[in-house]
Amino acid sequence: MSPSSGPAVGSTKLTVSGTSLGATDDPPPLVRICGVAATEVKPHPTLVGALLATTEAYSDAVTGEERTGTNACPVRVTRSDGRYDEAGQVDQIYLCI
């Protein structure tokens, strides 16, 4: 995944790579960072099997307020058939700062 961190306000262009992410699926997979759906999810133009996505603002699920501080966020890619992969290793966690 690149970059590995970005601002909590969102708008970071994120590359997610891995195996069986469904980059060419129609509809495209759903990418979530800390449970917040990314937008503009599409196949990466040069990395086979990788996805491009844009992060959205990272807010508290209960209050809706923007979270502050550094938060380690799991990244989950869910394909249209319900299969998913969730980054769980430290080097695959996205940091909202």
**Alpha carbon separation from 56 to 40, 47, 48, 52, 83 (Å, rounded):** 10, 23, 24, 13, 23
Q: CB burial class (10 A; 0-12, 13-18, 19+) of residue 79?
A: middle
Question: Is-above-0.85 flag for pTM?
Answer: no
- CATH code of the domain in which 69 resides: 2.60.40
Residue 54 predicted with pLDDT over 90: yes
**Which band of pLDDT confidence, cut at 50, 70 and 90, is reported for residue 61?**
low
Residue 5 CA to residue 72 CA, distance in Å, equals 9
Range of the domain at 51: 5-96
Domains held by the chain: number: 1
Residue 42 predicted with pLDDT over 90: yes
Mean pLDDT for all residues in the chain: 79
